Chains A and B, each alone.
Chain A
Amino acid sequence: MWSVALIGAGRMGALHGANAARDRRLRLKYVVDHRGESAAALAGSLGARPADLATILADPEIAGVVVASSTDMHLEHCLAATAAGKAVFCEKPIDLDLDKARAAAPRLGDAPLLLGFNRRFDPDVAALKRALDAGAVGALETLHIVNHDPAAPPPGFIPTSGGLFRDFTIHDLDLARWLLGEEPVELYATASCLVDPEIGRLGDVDTARTLLRTASGRLCVISNTRRSGYGYDQRVEAYGAAGRVAIDNRRGDTVETATEEGALRSSILPDFPSRYAASYAAEMDHFADMLADGARPRAGFADGVAALALADACDRSHRTGRPVRLQS
């Protein structure tokens, strides 16, 4: 059993805390949150103790720290935990400021830091990656990633979110890098505010299309909206020289109702906790691999910086109305 501490008792903290408490190789010992009541409540429900940051960093029994604090604290908490010799599992994004993130490279570049790009751990996405790696459709040529949220977040979330590209598209940018197996060298992003005018007044967008191109000419489209109106639309299509491999949405059940008006299938899964439940559990289990066997993180600091650099470039492209060439 490896003892871990959780920083952050919000929505993601509760999700990761429950997975840590459930993992057979992990013991959730502490929950840290500057809001003491939240820490106490979550710790109580998971059989852990509320504590402060200094306590968990000083406790030699703590092998790993799960960072699920607010985004602006991610980097600071990663640095502190790493300096104390702990392995770290940090939620995405690593930071919203690319320069700040890059400045941490000397200290985090080789650290045992798992960055929470959860899609890499989704069983469907992993099966797609395996099929591509096995050459099931020949050499990969183009990729289409659909990531549509069910409903727009409250406007209060927007100002601190970093904007659609850094907050939301960043998942797809990481997925694109991982599946393309090659860094994008050029991108173009065009975006609109079509869902909620309040999002536009706050200087953000809610609908976007991003095109990526790699050095060898592989193309990728990323489709994003903050509101699908029909659930959490999560699909990937990969086109190879010999065919297409795709993953579709999952549904709550397999019921199909046929009437005179047509056939109706049950809704697709409504949100990220339901759609990606398995991926979060697999992520936590991979963190246990890191603690137990010294496994290298499947998504690390460099991936976080690379995805953030792409998100910054998307934002620039959208704001200038021009394609952006990326330095390799």
Chain B
Amino acid sequence: MFKIALIGAGRIGRIHAANAAAHPQIELACVVDPIEEAAASLADRHGVPVAGFDEALADPAIAGVVIASSTDTHLDYSLRAVAAGKAVFCEKPIDLDLERARSAASQFEGAPLFLGFNRRFDPNFQALRAKLASGVVGRLESLQITSNDPAPPPPSYVAVSGGLFKDMAIHDFDMARWLLDEEPVEVFAFGACLVDSEIGRLGDVDTARTVLRTASGKLCVISNSRRSGFGYDQRVEAFASGGMARADNVLESTLQVWSEEGARADRFQNFFLDRYAEAYRREMDHFAEVMGGATPAIGYRDGVQALVLAEAAAESARSGSVVRLA
């Protein structure tokens, strides 16, 4: 059994706590959160104590730390946990500031840091990547990643989010790198505020289209909107020399209703915690492997590279110019 400490008792912390508690090889040992009530409530639910961060790090029985705190604390907590010899499973993004994230490179060198880009663990996208790797559709040429949220977040969230590209599209930048299997060298993005004018007043965009290009000429389009109006729209199409592979949306049920107006399928799963429930479970599985000595499937460098792309896209949308990456 690997004992873990959970840092952060918010929405995503609760998911990871439940998955850790249900995992046969993992024992949730304690919950850490500066908001005592939140920490106590989640700790109670799992029958574990509340602890301080330093206290958790000092406990030699604790093998791993799951960091699901607010984004601005990810880097600091990860560094301290790695320095204390713990394996770390940190929620994305590694940080909102690229320079700051880069400055930690030497400390993360070879460290067992697993970064939570959950889509890589979604069964649908895993199956898509396996198909591409098997070569049955030939050589990958271009990619269409669609990631539309069901409804925009409250403006107060937008203000501290880091902006659409770093907060939301960062998942898609990681997905693009993972599927393209090659680093993008050119980024161009259009951003627009079409959903909620308050988001625009806060200096952010709510709708974007980003094109990436790799050195070998592979193309990738990322489509983002903060509000689809029809559920959580999560799809990938991969066009290759011998055909196309597609992972589609997951519906709430397979129900279809037929009437004079036509055929209507059920809604898309509307919420990321539903759509990616299995991905979060598989992430925790992988963290058990990491605590057992496996190399993390997604590490520090992936976090930095996704941030590089997010900054490039934000810069392109702002300046109207193409951003070329070294």
Which residues of A approach B to under 8 Å, CB–CB?
137-138, 141-142, 144, 148, 186, 188, 190-195, 207-209, 211, 213, 217-219, 221, 223, 225, 227-230, 233, 239-244, 321-323
Contacts and interface: CB of A to CB of B under 8 A. Distances in A.
B230 A228 contact: no
B142 A239 contact: no
A142 B188 contact: no
Contacts of B233: 244
B247 interface: no
23 contacts: A141-B194, A142-B223, A144-B223, A188-B190, A190-B188, A190-B219, A192-B141, A192-B213, A195-B141, A207-B217, A211-B190, A219-B192, A219-B209, A221-B209, A227-B241, A228-B239, A229-B137, A230-B243, A239-B225, A242-B229, A243-B228, A244-B228, A323-B320
Given A241-B229, A243-B228, 6 more contacts: A137-B229, A186-B320, A194-B141, A194-B142, A228-B244, A239-B225
Contacts of A218: 192, 194
Main SS of the interface on chain A? strand
B207 interface: yes
Given A188-B188, A192-B213, A195-B241, A209 B219 contact: yes
B190 A192 contact: no
Contacts of A144: 144, 223
Nearest to B205: A217
Contacts of A195: 141, 241
The 10 closest A-B pairs by CB, nearest first: A192-B217, A217-B192, A243-B229, A243-B230, A230-B243, A229-B243, A194-B141, A141-B194, A242-B229, A209-B219
Contacts, number: 114
Contacts of B230: 243-244
A211 B322 contact: no
With a 10 A CB-CB cut-off, give which of A148, A195, A223, A240 has the most chain B CB atoms.
A223
Contacts of B138: 229
B240 interface: yes
Contacts of B211: 188, 190, 209, 211
B98 interface: no
Contacts of A233: 244
Contact of B188 (A193, A211, A242): A211
Contacts of A225: 141-142, 239
A221 to B, nearest CB: 5
Contacts of A194: 141-142, 217-218, 241
A169 B184 CA distance: 24
A141 B191 CA distance: 12
A211 B193 contact: no
Interface of B: 137-138, 141-142, 144, 148, 186, 188, 190, 192-195, 207-209, 211, 213, 217-219, 221, 223, 225, 227-230, 233, 239-244, 320-322
Given A141-B225, A239-B225, A322 B321 contact: yes
Contacts of B229: 137-138, 239-244
Given A194-B218, A209-B221, A217-B193, A323 B209 contact: no
A230 to B, nearest CB: 4
A102 to B, nearest CB: 27
B136 to A, nearest CB: 11
Contacts of B221: 209, 211, 221, 223
Contacts of A217: 192-194, 207
Given A194-B141, A209-B211, A244-B229, A221 B223 contact: yes
A223 B211 CA distance: 11
Contacts of A138: 229
B228 A239 contact: yes
B168 to A, nearest CB: 15
Given A223-B144, A243-B229, A188 B244 contact: no
B223 A207 contact: no
A218 B208 CA distance: 10
A213 B213 contact: no
With a 10 A CB-CB cut-off, give which of B188, B227, B321 has the most chain A CB atoms.
B188
A141 B195 CA distance: 9
A230 B237 CA distance: 13
A239 B149 CA distance: 13
Contact of B209 (A148, A191, A211, A240): A211
A141 B207 contact: yes
Given A190-B186, A230-B244, A244-B233, A323 B322 contact: yes
A229 B240 contact: yes
Nearest to B192: A217
Nearest to B220: A209
A209 B321 contact: no
A240 B188 CA distance: 23
Contacts of B188: 188, 190, 211, 323
A229 B209 contact: no
A280 B241 CA distance: 30
